[in-house]
Structure 1
């Protein structure tokens, strides 16, 4: 692979909270993988925790999307208020660029697909590569997306972690546990374009021009760190009352962080059964693309197949 150039920007929270030694870990890791990294000029701005005013963050995003020497656009991480930028994004020269992120970046990657028809990616931000113990699966899946690999089958890895590694001395060690096997809640098979990401971000787009079109799509839903049952039920009710589950081709839920009540499979199945009783479309659980590690890189707007039977998996077509 020829070396590629990554623009790291901050569309939501500021990178200013990250110490330089942590940033250096990410730079070295990406350099070894074959990437040169440049930063947007406003990544360290701090306006109540956000990376500057709207115009600052938008300037960095539009620079990254339109610069001829940039191959990949990668926000530092999520946070809040990426959606504030959507009405000012200039996609005129996006061309073959890869845009990748998750969490609050859900709004941007779904908007790219909706407005340009191009695939964007639900996957790791720059901060993930700053983890000295980043999982092999996270790296491998990202590189497969960079290389344009297809016919890739996504199933559960052996282990997972959702500890706060970045506040530990020397940023580790990680607390790895067994990853739950991908499992069917409702059996079936569906093909379609993949949309979705973090539930609370998707719901924040309701009644705006940027609300996601869910019709006949395979829907990925995952939640932020430490989601409680009560909050999750509130979000599920909103999706249900919107008629989203009636309109999609199938639903797959990302792995919950280990500190969430919903990481307990019996609790998760009990709650989900309230919304999918007698549902005639595939619903699967424990997809490894969420706020837990590893995070696989998935194509928003790309063709996928969801299988939910005795086994469950997602295939990138």
Structure 2
């Protein structure tokens, strides 16, 4: 059975950096994000790792794991949100006690998705793939991003519907600050590789940034088959994946590795997020990658969804039962918090 945390009203948010911390010159935007959350009724507590960054990490692996677990065990803290992702979160896994995790939401993406997936696979606790702290520093959030609060305040047995965004951000414009952080200028269109342009798939959600979650394969933290047997009964999986920096050939290699490791066995479909990394290599396009995978697995693939490094993004709950519908370029996801 999947266990779901619950976010109470006027919650206390713990901010810790199990991957990258924030350089001194960017400390003001961390403080701004904390102030914005405070204005919305939250209390925010920042750990020491948030304010340091050296050699591609916020602190040593042991120090990062210690602070993360201290915040998890702090009964006054209701939710953990890292400032952002990074590069070397994988170093902390061996120092975390996955068998003694309090029932508490952890929200993030990018490198953080490695930790989220490891937690859900090993413990059966739902985790939330969505916005990071620094993207909440705006005067307001767009409708897609803002859904993180409603999602995390959903009780076990209830469900929430999210819709594809109207527009997405093509590129960052840091020299032109926006009141909602993002510059949403391009029309969102969800696309499919399937027998029909109208697609409906049902199953349990798992996923994250493929650049990093692929490194769980072959480790004690990435045993998808054990997870299915222990926590899911007979429900199929829906994978949601997003590519941060992989070339199309590296993406293909990673997907084949996941297939050979059995991660896609019994899957109902795969969702791929938008990516600026999907550049063709010798005429080998990302659409070629999707076509080949759909044919090999004989399941529908939905792509250019609101997930990952090309915002905004839907909040996906690892472990939740989802019904995904796509038609006419628009998508709807109902996530049910079924134990």
For the superposition of Structure 1 and Structure 2, which TM-score range results when normalised by the shorter chain? 0.7 to 0.9
Show structure 2 runs of 5+ residues with no match: 1-7, 229-235
Select which of 118, 129, 140 maps to 1:122: 129
Name the CA distance, whole Å, in 2 between partners of 1:286 and 1:199: 15
Query: Given the superposition, is the C-alpha separation of residues 137 and 308 from structure 1 closer, same or farther in structure 2, using an over 3 Å criterion?
Result: closer
How many residues align? The count is: 310
Select which of 163, 167, 176 maps to 1:155: 163
Would you say 1:315 and 2:334 are equivalent positions?
A: yes
1:5-84 aligned within 5 A: 5-16=12-23, 19-84=26-91
Partner of 2:231: none
Would you say 1:107 and 2:126 are equivalent positions?
A: no
> RMSD of aligned C-alpha atoms?
2.7
Name the CA distance, whole Å, in 2 between partners of 1:136 and 1:18: 30
The one-character-per-residue Cα deviations of 1:97-129 (angstroms, maximum 9, x if unpaired) are 111111111121112212221111001111211
Q: After TM superposition, where is structure 1 displaced by more than 6 Å over at least 4 residues in a row?
A: none
Q: Any conservation in 2 of the 1:254–1:290 contact (CA below 8 Å)? A: yes
The one-character-per-residue Cα deviations of 1:237-268 (angstroms, maximum 9, x if unpaired) are 323333433442221111224x6438xxx954
TM-score (norm 2): 0.81
Name the CA distance, whole Å, in 1 between partners of 2:193 and 2:161: 19
Name the CA distance, whole Å, in 1 between partners of 2:191 and 2:214: 25
- Point out the more displaced range, 306-315 or 22-31: 306-315
Partner of 1:241: 260
Q: Any conservation in 1 of the 2:205–2:320 contact (CA below 8 Å)? A: yes
Select which of 145, 148, 153 maps to 1:142: 148
Shift of 1:208: 1.0
TM-score (norm 1): 0.86
Name the CA distance, whole Å, in 1 between partners of 2:9 and 2:188: 36
Show structure 1 runs of 5+ residues with no match: none
Q: Any conservation in 1 of the 2:19–2:89 contact (CA below 8 Å)? A: yes
Q: Any conservation in 1 of the 2:122–2:221 contact (CA below 8 Å)? A: no
Name the CA distance, whole Å, in 2 between partners of 1:57 and 1:218: 31
Partner of 1:219: 239
Name the CA distance, whole Å, in 2 between partners of 1:210 and 1:36: 32
The one-character-per-residue Cα deviations of 1:6-50 (angstroms, maximum 9, x if unpaired) are 000001112225523212320122112221111112222333020
Select which of 195, 203, 212 maps to 2:214: 203
